[in-house]
């Protein structure tokens, strides 16, 4: 007779540490194991980040490339290593990449998402605030908005 075990549930908390077979869950809502409190990156390491861009249906390729180039430049000047840019192409039959963005932000080595402007999360302030809170609370990542800096006016 064999015994089947259910898959383990995801850990909720800033960090997860198993001691004597018992989990210790630190305060803070994220869905991945992360570094222990007080651990730091080496002085030469740059924080890793991902970008998120939501394009309008009428955006041409040149404009899309310009947005991503500005996002990469902004991230580099901010001291971030931009490892990927998730580009949303709104279409009724296309799956959203926002879920993929959230999964990437649950990785312990990615700490920031960079967006060109609040409108890239939503054109409506309430929905923008909710999506930003979802990112920050559920993943523990920072949201860095490029248009809130002097970079947007240059």
pLDDT digits (tens, 9 = 90+) for 48-98: 999 999 998 888 899 999 999 999 999 999 999 999 999 998 777 778 899
pLDDT digits (tens, 9 = 90+) for 15-35: 333 344 444 443 333 333 444
69 and 141 housed in the same domain: yes
17 and 59 housed in the same domain: no
21 and 69 housed in the same domain: no
Determine the Cα–Cα distance for residues 24 and 18; give it in Å rounded to an integer. Answer: 6
How many CB atoms within 10 Å of residue 30?
23
CATH number at residue 78: 3.40.50.1390
Per-residue b or e along 100-136, where b marks 16 or more CB atoms closer than 10 Å to that residue's CB: ebbebbbeeebbbbbbbebebbeeeeeebeebbeebb
pLDDT confidence of residue 45:
64
Phi, psi of 104 (to 5 degrees): -65, -40
Cβ within 8 Å of residue 74, ≥6 positions away = 114, 146, 149, 151
Residue 75, helix vs strand vs coil: helix
Q: What is the largest CA-CA distance in the chain?
A: 70
Assigned domain for 149 exists: yes
Q: Which domain range does residue 85 map to?
A: 47-153
Choice among 22-31, 77-86, 107-116, 127-136 with the minimum mean pLDDT: 22-31
């Amino acid at each position: 007779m064999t015994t089947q075990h259910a898959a383990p549930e995801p850990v909720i908390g800033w960090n997860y540490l198993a001691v004597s077979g018992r989990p210790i869950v630190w305060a803070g809502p994220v869905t991945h194991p992360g570094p222990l409190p007080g651990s730091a990156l080496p002085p030469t390491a740059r924080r890793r980040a991902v970008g998120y861009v939501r394009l309008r249906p009428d955006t041409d390729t040149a404009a899309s490339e310009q947005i991503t180039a500005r996002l990469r430049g902004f991230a580099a000047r901010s001291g971030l290593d931009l490892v990927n840019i998730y580009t949303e192409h709104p279409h009724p039959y296309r799956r959203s990449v926002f879920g993929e963005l959230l999964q990437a932000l649950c990785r312990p080595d990615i700490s920031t998402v960079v967006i060109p402007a609040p409108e890239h999360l939503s054109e409506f302030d309430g929905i923008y605030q909710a999506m930003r809170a979802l990112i920050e609370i559920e993943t523990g990542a920072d949201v860095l908005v490029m248009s809130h800096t002097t970079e947007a006016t240059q």
